[in-house]
Amino acid sequence: MSEVQRIRFSRLKVLALIALFALPLLVAWSMITFRVGIPEQRTAHGELAPELPELPAWPLAGAPAAELRGDWVLAFDCGEGCEALADQWWRLHRALGREAPRVSRLRVGGEAPALPGERVVAWTERPAWHGPDRLWVLDPQGLPVLAYGPEASPRDVLDDVNRLLRMNPEVVPREGRPLAGR
């Protein structure tokens, strides 16, 4: 191999190395610029609910916000078929398995007795955003995260709640420092 060929071969190796590192940047730039390969859909099955007030501001008799603080909350409005709806969300709560203690259920309205682990309250007045048989998922601070209509599939709700719990792991308290609300 002559000296010229050796220099040419070295330059080709350097150019190949530069291309190896520049190619992913070029592909990423083109994906963002031309919107190729970027998903357009949402991953949550429910509707995002940032316009709803925090749980303490809900017009509820009994003020459950203080005792639910620190837990994820499945709040649902009981309209027609309240017993079936309460049973459906109780089964979903049980399906959470070891994550179930991190979630509380809040039933608004209904005449049936409370199921295990469920708190029952009533509206003092019906807000404008109220809807019969609706379900809201609230974070540990009482902020509504997702809202579901009466046609919501329990499987979809379970998927969303599992994803929220997985993405927001429970904070383990350190010795001598209790968690707020627990």
Three-class secondary structure of residue 145 per DSSP: strand
The per-residue pLDDT for range 69-125, each reduced to its tens digit, is: 788 999 999 887 888 888 999 999 999 999 999 999 999 988 888 888 888 898 899
Name the pTM for this structure: 0.71
**Rounded CA gap, 33 and 93, in Å?**
43
The per-residue pLDDT for range 22-36, each reduced to its tens digit, is: 999 999 999 888 888
Task: Take residue 134 and report the two structure tokens written for it.
Answer: 């609706």
**Banded model confidence at residue 182, pLDDT cuts 50, 70, 90:** very low
**Rounded CA gap, 83 and 2, in Å?**
88
Q: Which residue has the tokens 């979809």?
A: 156
47-167 is a CATH 2.40.50.140 domain: no
Amino acid at 92: L
The per-residue pLDDT for range 54-66, each reduced to its tens digit, is: 988 898 887 676 7
The pLDDT of residue 164: 92
